[in-house]
């Protein structure tokens, strides 16, 4: 096919749990390269309701995903290391799936 758009499909799926060891200290989701992006969801077993999602400067006052509503957020990103999470409670976690 001449002149068409070639879509590169991912050949690796990243699926893991990321823990915020110390509330108020952002944690990177990882270092893997992605082709599509990542879905982030608050772990249903968390003590608090919110997992905050953003860049390296994220704190517990920004955009968040809620354990109570169970709705994940999808972020189009090329590398997991560009996305960070934070929490209100030590040990709270996010579930992530990326490709």
Domain ranges of the chain: 14-98
Residue 2 banded pLDDT, cuts 50, 70, 90? low
Is pTM, for the whole model, over 0.85? yes
* 8 Å CB contact between 46 and 92: yes
Per-residue pLDDT tens digits for 12-65: 899 999 999 999 999 999 999 999 899 999 999 999 999 999 999 998 778 899
Residue 75 banded pLDDT, cuts 50, 70, 90? very high
Q: How far is CA 88 from CA 8, 66, 81, 97, in A?
A: 38, 12, 21, 22
pLDDT of the residue at 6: 79
User: 14-98 has which CATH code?
Assistant: 2.60.120
Torsion of CA 50, 30, 38, 93, to 10 degrees: -20
């Amino acid at each position: 096919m001449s002149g068409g758009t070639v879509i590169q499909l991912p050949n690796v799926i990243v699926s893991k749990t990321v823990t915020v060891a110390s509330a108020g200290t952002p944690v990177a989701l990882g270092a893997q390269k992605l082709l599509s992006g990542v879905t982030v969801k608050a772990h249903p077993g968390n003590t608090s309701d919110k997992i905050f999602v953003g860049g390296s400067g994220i704190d517990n006052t920004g955009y968040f995903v809620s354990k109570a509503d169970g709705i994940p957020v999808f972020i189009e990103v090329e590398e997991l290391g560009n996305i960070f999470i934070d929490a209100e409670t030590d040990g709270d976690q996010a579930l992530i799936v990326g490709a």
